[in-house]
Structure 1
Amino acid sequence: MFTVSQRLDHILYDAFGKQGSGIIEGNVNQPGMMQQCRSAHGPTFSGQYCQVFISQGMYMYFVGVCVPDSCGEKDVQNLALHGKLQLGQMSLIPPLPHILVNQSAQEVTMTHCLLNTLTPDTSDIICMSVYDWTSTLSTLLYSTKNTPQCFPRSCLYQGLQAFSLQTTTKGVLSTSVPGGGYASLNGIRVLSLFWIMSGHTTQIPILSSLDNINSLLNTVESNILHVFTIGGPVFLGVDTFLVLGVQPLHLFITCLATGILPLFQWEPFWFPDLENFMDCKKYWWANAVFVSNLIQVSQIVRHKCHFQLMLYLLCVFVFFFSSVGNYAFQYYHKPHTRYGPFLLGILTGLYLGKRKNPFIKKKVTTFDQNNSKTIWQAALGWFFCLSLLAVLFGLSYLLVESPPYPSVPHALYQGLHRHLWALAVIWIILACEDGYGGFIKSFLSMGFWVPLSNISFACYLIHPMFIILYLALLQTPIHYTEINFLYLFLGVLMLSVILSYILTVLVEKPFVLLKWSCKRMDVRKQ
């Protein structure tokens, strides 16, 4: 990369982070060039990339510094605290210009040096293999319960057939709905997934990777299309998923996240998530046994691998909160805050499975008073449903700012909006299934949605990994434009669909088929 005539100190200095334009728009991070720093090799040392995190007035940012690899994090922090990171009389981490920031004094909050290499440990290897072995063993033990004789050939054949790509692929790619019922659920599930992915594609980069975050926030207020990203109540898409239900594929995804992702060579913007993945690796068992919300917020597996599945243990309501936290980790990611939609989904499923009469009285062939009354009831239900959805969308804009004093509207919205959203979704499901959905049912019941619905849960779990991986490999910040984020969303969507299909046919579907096979064998034995 460099000619022999270039001096080592030139490379080290050039790799330092430097101030750029657009500070007012949010371009305050100064990452420098990590790969250039690591390419510097001298007779006695090599370049080491570190980050100095600084607070200055209302701004918090980091500066990438290139120091010899003999320096530790404490050494770098002491150099920064005492103003020794200088080139002659010029500071290598100068404060932001006083014309833009009222306070010129800098406060070094922490330092962090990124390792040049990462080596897999035993847990990485075990985590990626133990799931398949334990799942297969538990299935075989279950299938031979109360049968002391050796393995019947039919059991072995069915077990092998469950892992056949021809069998699993046929089930995943089928466009028909098993039993012919509840076809509208497929469209609702897939559209909710797209909404969630669109929101995450916009929201996650905002945490650390944009150089013009203020431009994005200004655009959100003026562009109605951002109702599908950060501007609207994207979080309600998750509640739609909880109404519809989930499946236990999360254990394999957790292993994938903890065992594979930390082994990549990360760039400067990876650090905000590095601690989360280290916690994810340390406390993987909390997700495996569905007790992740019993761990303190500072130790919990964060949103990359914290999946809302604790609700399966409905009787556990013991919560630990750290004394200092924030909305995301203490409220948004907590499964118990989504208890309402999940419970409503369970009750709706029980009702649909047990009911003998339709929720809305069936139409009759001749016009009479009862038929007219039934149609008006359905129309009134749709009016209230759509009005409720409009109110929830509108209030998400009006109540976006947190008031400095207790606010009744904010409290009512936070306490009720998830449950009201779930009720609106339930109405759509019931109305469509009882024949009062019209063109909405026709759209939601299209066969196009069925294959995507079959892989939707895997896609829901895997797509944050692609977003984090993309951000972690960035060497420079992202500049927000609508077209940039559209391309990012489409790229994440396509990669997630491809990997989700692979995980569904290789992991999820085989074990579902094994479970069904074992149940059928038990029924035949009885």
Structure 2
Amino acid sequence: MQYFIIGYIITACSVSYFYLAAAIWSFLVISSIIINFYLVYALNFSIINSFLIPLSIKDVLYKLPWTRIGPYLVGMAVAYFLLQTKRKIHLNKIILWIFWILTTFPIILIIWYSLVESSVLETACLWSLIRVITIAFSIGWIVWASVTGYGGFINTFLSHEIFVVVDRLTYCAYLINPIIIFLSYFDADKAIHNDMIFQLPTFLGVVILTFFGAFILYLMFEKPFRSLLELLTTK
């Protein structure tokens, strides 16, 4: 809800005061990066491996809105420029290769480095500084390239019909996923030993249960109300 309100304010400002909206956007992105850096440093938190992070630290680093607003703002910027340029930007192959390398390599590096067990505080601070915002920009480029016709086989894969079905369930899945996670982890009678081997079947189970529940929720609530709204607006 906080992101929606902030996004609405920035979007409204961009209509008549583009530079003001850009300044607010830049301030919020930079502030989010600095806050993440400060929290890691202030908590003397030197663990990078996400499996080793205590829950009390995760609450501070991942649940607070000001630590997660960066990717939301990047998504807003991508959507804004797609709308303003009307998806018509010509890039030569050299520029495309540069962008694909600059966006793909950081994702691979950050995902791999997230599994590293490091005890160096400076390394953890640097990782927190670039982790979220770098992945957001990389995914933003993939979306932009796919929409504008530069996605290649990635666009072909993401345009498959199966994702049309999944897309209709994403909002319901977003709503029901925290409940599934809570029931799976926090309602257990005994402590769970967390490792990579255990995480894979647990992850798949949570995904299947989430989308199954999202399908039921979609049929019971979203689909009827969407049909009713379409019926009212067409008349």
Find the aligned partners of 1:344 and 1:518 in 2 and give their Cα distance: 34
State whether residues 360 and 434 of structure 1, in contact with CA within 8 Å, keep that contact through their aligned partners in structure 2: no
Q: Are 1:384 and 2:76 matched, yes or no? A: no
Q: Within 5 Å, which residues of 2 pair with 1:102-501?
A: 309-314=1-6, 326-361=56-91, 374-398=92-116, 400-401=118-119, 403=121, 407=122, 409-471=123-185, 474-476=188-190, 478=192, 485-501=199-215
Q: For residues 478 and 413 of structure 1, do their structure 2 counterparts lie closer, same or farther at Cα, with a shift above 3 Å needed?
A: closer
Letter of the structure 2 residue corresponding to residue 424 of structure 1 = S
Q: For residues 487 and 337 of structure 1, do their structure 2 counterparts lie closer, same or farther at Cα, with a shift above 3 Å needed?
A: closer
Structure 2 residue matching 1:455: 3-state secondary structure: helix
TM-score normalised by the chain length of structure 2: 0.66
The count of aligned residue pairs is 190
Which digits, 9 at most, give the CA deviation of each residue in 1:38-88, with x for residues without a partner?
A: xxxxxxxxxxxxxxxxxxxxxxxxxxxxxxxxxxxxxxxxxxxxxxxxxxx
Letter of the structure 2 residue corresponding to residue 388 of structure 1 = P
Find the aligned partners of 1:414 and 1:465 in 2 and give their Cα distance: 27
State whether residues 87 and 148 of structure 2, in contact with CA within 8 Å, keep that contact through their aligned partners in structure 1: no
Q: For residues 448 and 398 of structure 1, do their structure 2 counterparts lie closer, same or farther at Cα, with a shift above 3 Å needed?
A: same
Q: For residues 402 and 310 of structure 1, do their structure 2 counterparts lie closer, same or farther at Cα, with a shift above 3 Å needed?
A: farther
Letter of the structure 2 residue corresponding to residue 430 of structure 1 = W
Structure 1 residue matching 2:114: 3-state secondary structure: helix
Find the aligned partners of 1:518 and 1:400 in 2 and give their Cα distance: 58
Which has more strand, going by share of residues? 1
Shift of 1:381: 1.2
Letter of the structure 2 residue corresponding to residue 351 of structure 1 = F
Q: Within 5 Å, which residues of 2 pair with 1:78-117?
A: none
State whether residues 3 and 69 of structure 2, in contact with CA within 8 Å, keep that contact through their aligned partners in structure 1: yes
Shift of 1:487: 4.1
Find the aligned partners of 1:459 and 1:400 in 2 and give their Cα distance: 34
Find the aligned partners of 2:198 and 2:65 in 1 and give their Cα distance: 32
Q: Quick one: percent identity of the two aligned structures?
A: 26
Q: Within 5 Å, which residues of 2 pair with 1:2-21?
A: none
Q: For residues 519 and 476 of structure 1, do their structure 2 counterparts lie closer, same or farther at Cα, with a shift above 3 Å needed?
A: same
Find the aligned partners of 1:477 and 1:507 in 2 and give their Cα distance: 36
Which protein has the larger Cα radius of gyration, Structure 1 or Structure 2? 1
Structure 2 residue matching 1:436: 3-state secondary structure: coil
Q: For residues 490 and 384 of structure 1, do their structure 2 counterparts lie closer, same or farther at Cα, with a shift above 3 Å needed?
A: closer
Structure 2 residue matching 1:450: 3-state secondary structure: helix
State whether residues 107 and 138 of structure 2, in contact with CA within 8 Å, keep that contact through their aligned partners in structure 1: yes
State whether residues 389 and 424 of structure 1, in contact with CA within 8 Å, keep that contact through their aligned partners in structure 2: yes
Q: What runs of 5+ residues in structure 2 fail to find an aligned partner?
A: 10-27, 29-42, 44-54
Two-structure CA RMSD over aligned residues (Å)? 3.2
Find the aligned partners of 1:477 and 1:350 in 2 and give their Cα distance: 46
Which digits, 9 at most, give the CA deviation of each residue in 1:325-369, with x for residues without a partner?
A: 9432223101121212111212222222332352344xxxxxxxx
Find the aligned partners of 1:418 and 1:485 in 2 and give their Cα distance: 22
State whether residues 107 and 135 of structure 2, in contact with CA within 8 Å, keep that contact through their aligned partners in structure 1: yes
Alignment-derived partner of residue 509 in structure 1: 223
Q: For residues 462 and 357 of structure 1, do their structure 2 counterparts lie closer, same or farther at Cα, with a shift above 3 Å needed?
A: closer
Shift of 1:447: 0.8
Letter of the structure 1 residue corresponding to residue 58 of structure 2 = A
Structure 2 residue matching 1:359: 3-state secondary structure: coil
Letter of the structure 2 residue corresponding to residue 458 of structure 1 = C
